[in-house]
Structure 1
Amino acid sequence: MKITLIQGDITQIKVDAIVNAANSSLLGGGGVDGAIHRAGGPAILEECRRIRDRQGRCATGEAVITTAGKLPAKYVIHTVGPVWNKGNDEEKRLLRNAYINSLLLAVKHGVETIAFPNISTGVYHFPKPIAAEIAVAAVKEFLAQDNRITNLVFVCHEKENYDIYSELLSRN
């Protein structure tokens, strides 16, 4: 099992699955969500609509899987991170769940390589250092108990998150 850190564009990463920091509507939005939908093409949105028709909105901390359309990945795992409001334990638990549920869904679909963005740190205003600590702890805990994911990539769009993750991952 390997954890890799890169600064770049998650839509260009060649892995089995990329994770999308989606909103509960699953219909695209800004940030990484909009970039994934634009780069992947209409097939992703079509599958998201079918999921919504079947189950309704995607709850915070939960995840669903679709095709990756034109992306170099096979799948997109859409997960809804929490909006930072009070910084309470529930918000932290929901962010952890977004990572864990994405990994559970990945393993269920035979994914061996996966890339994560920095969930909830954009328009959802989760403080980047706290979000990074939760992300790193959650994936390390999962990967220690399940070795089917062989490479996990944290993809940081900007340098600030890259530096935070770099520091965290260098500690152990």
Structure 2
Amino acid sequence: MQIRGHQGDITTERVDAVVNAANSTLMGGGGVDGALHRAAGPDLLEECRRLRAARWHEGLPVGEAAATGAGRLPARWVIHTVGPNRHLGQTDPDLLASCFRRSLEVAHEVGARSVAFPAISAGVYGWDPAVVAGVAVETVRATAPDVPSVEEVRFVLFGPDVLVHFERAIAG
């Protein structure tokens, strides 16, 4: 599996699946979640509503992942995952690792070959970007043998301050 990082806009990535740092409602929000919902258009929100009605009645749990179509995004799927919120006392790195692992497992289930990730929980959820980068890269590497259809993982970071941590983790 090829793993790389770059600065960019995840809503424009030409990959099979983009990972959404979602909130548990799956109804959109701020940050990556809001940007993906705006770019994808109303079809994404409708698919999220159907997903909630069919399986996740109480909302998507922290560390879990689920796929929908991608609406107007250049990707085919959006894989929604809810990162742990340090401000709410969710400080277990295993919860964060679960977001990356479950997202890759779901990507494999839908047949995605390329996946773009944001820095899950490194924004308003209060996790240190260096910690997120280390957990993310380590988890992707450890999960790679279990998801053979996924050939490429891109970490698409909004700014250079976060990118540097991912570049170190990838090189490391």
TM-score by length of 1: 0.94
User: Residue 27 of structure 2 aligns to which amino acid in structure 1?
Assistant: L
User: Residue 40 of structure 2 aligns to which amino acid in structure 1?
Assistant: G
Cα shift readout 1:135-154 (whole Å, capped 9, x = no counterpart): 01000101144332111100
Could you say what secondary structure the match of 1:152 adopts?
strand
Partners of 1:134 and 1:83 lie apart in 2 by 15
Partner of 1:34 in structure 2? 34
**Post-superposition, which runs of at least 4 consecutive aligned residues in structure 1 deviate over 3 A?**
85-88
Question: Would the aligned equivalents of 2:119 and 2:133 in 1 still touch at CA under 8 Å?
Answer: yes
Could you say what secondary structure the match of 2:38 adopts?
helix
Name structure 1 gaps, 5 residues minimum.
none
Cα shift readout 1:76-133 (whole Å, capped 9, x = no counterpart): 0000000014574xx2111100111101111011111000000001110111111111
Partners of 2:142 and 2:19 lie apart in 1 by 18
Partner of 2:61 in structure 1? 59
Partners of 2:146 and 2:23 lie apart in 1 by 29
Partner of 1:81 in structure 2? 83
- Name the Cα RMSD after superposition: 1.2
Query: 1:1-172 to 2 correspondence within 5 Å?
Result: 1-54=1-54, 55-56=56-57, 57-85=59-87, 86=89, 88=91, 91-171=92-172
Name structure 2 gaps, 5 residues minimum.
none
Identical columns (%):
43
Partners of 2:146 and 2:107 lie apart in 1 by 15
Partners of 2:95 and 2:37 lie apart in 1 by 24
Q: Aligned residues, how many?
A: 169
Once the 2 structures are TM-superposed, how far is the Cα of residue 32 of structure 1 from its aligned partner? 0.3
Partners of 2:4 and 2:122 lie apart in 1 by 19
* Alignment CA distance shift 1:42-1:130 (3 Å): same
Partners of 1:9 and 1:117 lie apart in 2 by 9
TM-score by length of 2: 0.94
User: Residue 160 of structure 1 aligns to which amino acid in structure 2?
Assistant: D
User: Residue 58 of structure 1 aligns to which amino acid in structure 2?
Assistant: L
Partners of 1:167 and 1:87 lie apart in 2 by 25
Could you say what secondary structure the match of 1:104 adopts?
helix
